[in-house]
Chain A
């Protein structure tokens, strides 16, 4: 295929700030990239090759070079089998791309700007022709290990259309395991060895890593997954979907249906963050840590997470409680033009959103797209910065001082405490719901923190509904006033 090169006169023509999303914190701007009509860009992965070139791999199996300065597009590789992730070794110039059947290194041996050598790094997992057996990743840790996640198979014949994949469905759930290591995360060592890493994933469509080599993945609501979730990946951990036990060395040959739901519940590690289905996310993508140190605004260190169906961006703040991650999720920007599945920070601190809407439907309606979110570098929006657990309740941190009177009124902090049920059925309703109002609210001296006192219980989700009376000292509204905190553990 001939590389399509379309030269835009200026970046202003390549990027258009069109109608801005309804929910947009002050100081943020959304720009949409004009994609040449010859390109179908169902984004699967993104990474910067250098300060200008954004490399984008697609569900269609192509890899495109997008010059963010002059708007030129050039084909870098093609013929891949559904490429859903990229990682670039910027020192060596090697591009790693995750395809359904393997992790591949792309090399441009003749330096003509296009990959010509496609090297298999590893293909250690099983794969059938079941459409749901996605392969996601890679991320790479500081030691040079790659990590990826493997989707379960769609195994129920009623949905899959054939009983040939009907293997390892547990307690009549819909997803199963038609090939080896479906539902596992894996590690590929610098020597190229495949190591099954953790298990219990259902639809682990996004994987991310922070600067301390902590790996997280998102999962979609479904069987054995109460709602959309964010999980901390730790070796040998069981995250919840039991079909993956089929490949666990201690369980090989055992009848997984003889293990009770209660036993699986005890075996699993709860998600770090529950992301309420329907309210905030339906199919979360890649969790991207804000490593811009303030270039992208006041949320440095948090996770920016997009959702495919709802086409929104969320923010997640994590903290360690009793040795485990848990934390808060809140909406950030919504809606964008179509499903947000991938994200990457550019060298200037702007956030690029890779989008696809094909097949599942997305708010916004477009089939695919590329957008950029920029912060103006000066405006601090009035927002919930994060919520953290205290021994006596929660601290709600605001980006700006809150109004002294309304900010100290407990009636402006309506809480809902609830649980989800871990079960083989598709998703879970909220249960054990209890409305709460803090017994007291005290503001910090700078009025940026509200100390809430209330009774706490472990393994609950706390939903914060901030009243619209709650405003900044200057009267600014809070853009997203509902947040959720997953309290798996309490401070001792």
Chain B
């Protein structure tokens, strides 16, 4: 839906093809950068050029989503700040190709449409160092990242970057590409009836089928199931990324009904089903990206559908852990509970961004 909206905007805005700036001359270095289909990744995550080199980057978008390329100075913190700023462009987003005005930006491309190519011409900084690059389209900035080294010895710098790249150290990693993965497993310090779900875009969560509530999320790679599949198995699987809290305070409350798990659908993004008293609940959990304290963060969005509730429905959470917003209902004063009428609970969303 969102991408359809972007498409129409883009076509009305028109497409400007970048040309080398007047007097740029012949580039010293030409790099073709691709996108990995369905994986929300650049095909190269380490690049290197000489200081002051005239660089031409060709971004070849072989994926069905829109992408751009933004080079930033000042480290990954600046990269995330700039990515957050890109989300606040509002109506200007498409016109500005999701590139905000910011002194940290060294170079940036226009949006590359699916199957299309865009070019960026820039002069590399004189100062040696590592410069992060990123795609600033919404939700892409977590995984579509890389580092461009500016070095007098570009080959050596490239080797260094490639060696330093974090490797997934796992016995039996389950890695998410363009489809969500779901795995029931024992995970350290988690309930025995855990359901782990990895979503494209690098957000994962753990749902407890006993209490019918998400326990926590994590960003990055999904799950190492080696401890369950090597030797006798039965040991704790490991989450491979950075855990974040979701303010979990149990399942939706409908009267004093006890939640009973009923299963899930795996048509597309997993949709979880449970019963609370007489009410039937479906909970679709998707990636949510937004700003927390000006920094772009990944969190979760819950889309609840509650059928058959007799009275009000309450969603509880710990507001110290998350920034929460709801599409319906009423928060109490300290924002620990969202109360909805049975009608409002028919379908509503709650978005959660971790504060940690």
A residues sitting closer than 8 Å to B (CB atoms) are 1, 40, 59-61, 78-82, 99-102, 104-105, 109-110, 115-120, 123, 127-132, 179, 358-360
Contacts and interface: CB of A to CB of B under 8 A. Distances in A.
Given A79-B184, A127-B192, A118 B264 contact: yes
Contact of B209 (A102, A105, A129): A102
A101 B184 contact: yes
Contacts of A132: 234
Given A101-B192, A104-B263, 16 more contacts: A40-B229, A61-B184, A78-B182, A79-B181, A82-B234, A101-B184, A105-B263, A109-B265, A116-B266, A119-B263, A120-B209, A120-B263, A123-B193, A123-B210, A129-B186, A131-B232
A355 to B, nearest CB: 16
Interface in B39-58: none
Interface size bracket, B side: 20 to 34
Interface string B213-256: 00000000000000011011111100000000000000000000
Of listed A80, A120, A128, residue having the most chain B CB within 10 A: A120
A131 B235 contact: yes
Contact of A129 (B182, B183, B192, B266): B192
Contacts of A123: 193, 209-210, 261
20 contacts: A61-B183, A81-B185, A82-B233, A101-B192, A101-B193, A102-B261, A104-B263, A116-B266, A116-B267, A117-B265, A120-B261, A120-B262, A123-B193, A127-B193, A128-B192, A130-B234, A132-B234, A179-B192, A358-B232, A360-B232
Contacts of B267: 109-110, 116-117
B209 A60 contact: no
B231 A359 contact: yes
A417 B273 CA distance: 58
B258 to A, nearest CB: 13
Contacts, number: 82
Contacts of A120: 209, 261-263
B270 to A, nearest CB: 9
Task: Name B's interface SS.
Answer: loop
B189 to A, nearest CB: 9
Contacts of A110: 267
A117 to B, nearest CB: 5
Q: What are the 10 tightest A-B residue pairs by CB atom distance, in nearest-first order? A: A131-B234, A359-B232, A81-B184, A119-B263, A79-B182, A127-B192, A101-B193, A129-B186, A79-B183, A120-B263
A405 B83 CA distance: 94
A80 B264 CA distance: 12
A120 B229 CA distance: 24
A179 B238 CA distance: 23
Contact of A118 (B179, B232, B266): B266
A128 B262 CA distance: 20
Given A116-B267, A120-B261, A123-B261, A101 B232 contact: no
A80 B231 contact: no
A439 to B, nearest CB: 50
Contacts of A1: 179, 181
